[in-house]
């Protein structure tokens, strides 16, 4: 029996704080995946090296998601993209990163700009 994962994104731009009468809405169809491996981690991230070993994904990673749960400190996400090139993306406080551009045999390393913060990581692949 297969496993399933789904990524949904919805965006609204409005001048009202309750988002009524939006100027723009963005609500594309969800991306459906059929992975057979996953990692879900809620972790403390400090300013040192915080590595998640992705060696279990033998055939590819379909999606990496990092949610920065801190309200004041950003987190840098270090990984190799599909071309095996080192990449660093910064997730601002309260922000989220979702990318399918991940080289499966590389590790994911999260580094807080300072202090110790909470992040949630979700990786699906085969």
Per-residue pLDDT of the chain (126 residues; tens, 9 = 90+): 678 888 888 899 999 999 989 999 999 998 888 888 899 999 999 999 999 998 888 878 889 999 999 999 999 999 998 888 999 999 999 999 999 888 876 789 999 999 999 999 999 988
What average pLDDT does the structure give for the chain? 92
User: Does residue 114 contact residue 89 with C-beta atoms inside 8 Å?
Assistant: no
* Domains (range + CATH), the chain: 35-125 (2.60.120.380)
Which parts of 1-126 fold into alpha helices (H)?
none
Closest by CA position to 62, among listed 1, 119, 7:
7
Contact status, residue 110 vs residue 50, Cβ threshold 8 Å: yes
Do residues 124 and 61 make contact, with C-beta atoms less than 8 angstroms apart?
yes
Burial environment of residue 80 by CB neighbours within 10 A (0 to 12, 13 to 18, 19 or more): middle
């Amino acid at each position: 029996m297969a496993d399933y994962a789904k990524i949904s994104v919805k965006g609204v731009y409005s001048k009202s704080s309750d988002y009524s009468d939006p100027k723009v809405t963005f609500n594309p169809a969800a991306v459906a995946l059929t992975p057979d491996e996953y990692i879900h981690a809620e972790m403390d991230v400090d300013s040192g090296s915080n590595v998640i070993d992705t060696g279990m994904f033998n055939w590819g990673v379909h999606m990496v998601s990092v949610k920065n749960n801190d309200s004041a400190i950003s987190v840098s996400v270090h990984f190799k993209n599909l071309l095996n090139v080192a990449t660093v993306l910064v997730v601002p406080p309260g922000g989220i990163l979702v990318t399918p551009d991940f080289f499966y045999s590389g590790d994911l390393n999260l580094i807080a700009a300072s202090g110790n913060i909470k992040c949630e990581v979700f990786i699906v692949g085969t």
